[in-house]
Amino acid sequence: MDASPSLRDAIARAADQLALAGVPDPVVDAELLACHVLHLDRGELMAAAVRGASLGADDSAAYDAVVSRRTTREPLQHITGTAPFRHLTLRVGPGVFVPRPETEVVAQLAIDALQAAASDSPIAVDLGTGSGALALALATEVPHARVYAAELSPAAHSWARENFAAVDAANATLRLADLADAFPELDGRVSVVVSNPPYVPDDAIPRDPEVQRYDPPLALYGGPDGLDAVRVLSRAAGRLLRPGGVLVIEHGEWQGEPVRALLGADGWRATATHPDLTMRDRATTALHP
């Protein structure tokens, strides 16, 4: 009978399989899948590998199964059921957009604006919240604020509802609503509006199979130029924000200039585009006139 495979060898073989399948970060994914199967964090996994730990038959079979799923380019987060976002761990799966690391920069812009608001209890609104990532980051990192989140997709709203319940932030409110007319009772009272809207042009095909096959189209595609939702956001945020309030919009790396032009034409002041950690243009901010 063959000896149980060592954890180190199993991870190395998995990384080779994932690399052949074109997975962008095969070693990282191999390690994270092992963490998922063994219920360990990365530090504990590395310590076990250094000690020469082996995989039992059941764990080895479970690991082979999740690695096989990942070779089909099923998103890592769908397999593990979770996605990290800043200090949060969010539940995700089919029907909801998986939060990306670059959106953490968008969250920081909104958090900074909310912390700077001249109010003891400022209000923020996240339009098109998806998993709830932006709204819950704001609610937990700016606890004196009140945060409202709207999501149109029933499937995505279900995931957001689960995350809101898990985080249990008393200052966060979730509603199933279209971003165009959400929260009319807050008109003229909001300090920060933030959104990661769909911004992929309709005829563009995302390169990554994880995006193309698994992210919901409602969260991806934004019309012929990708900016249809931004046009709606400009009007919705103009309705919600108080004078001097801040709008923060995530967009594609080539869209900073047209987003600034669109907002400027609608009367927004001090439009500025900001890079993410890879120095790609990622978000545009503007002040309500």
Per-domain boundaries in the chain: 7-72, 82-287
The CA distance from 24 to 78, in Å, is 16
Q: List all residues 6 or more positions away from 168 whose beta carbon is below 8 Å from its beta carbon.
A: none
Residue 54 β-bridge partners: 6
- Taking only the tens place, the pLDDT of each residue in 159-198 is 999 999 999 999 999 999 999 999 999 999 999 999 999 9
CB atoms near residue 115 (< 10 Å): 14
Q: Who contacts 161 (Cβ-Cβ below 8 Å, separation ≥6)?
A: 174
CATH class of the domain comprising 82-287: alpha beta
Q: Round to whole Å and give the CA distance between 67 and 17.
A: 8
Tell me the per-residue pLDDT of 82-93, one tens digit each, with 9 for 90 and over: 999 999 999 999
What average pLDDT values come out for the chain (289 residues) when binned by 10 residues?
78 97 96 97 94 92 97 97 96 96 96 95 98 98 98 97 97 97 97 97 90 92 95 97 97 96 97 94 96
Burial pattern 86-106, b for ≥16 Cβ within 10 A else e, equals bebebbbbebbbbbbebbbbb
**What sign results for the dihedral spanned by CA atoms 10, 11, 13, 17?**
positive
What pLDDT does 1 receive?
A: 36
How far apart (Å, rounded) are the C-alpha atoms in residues 123 and 55? 50
pLDDT at 23: 97
Give the pLDDT score at 254.
Answer: 94
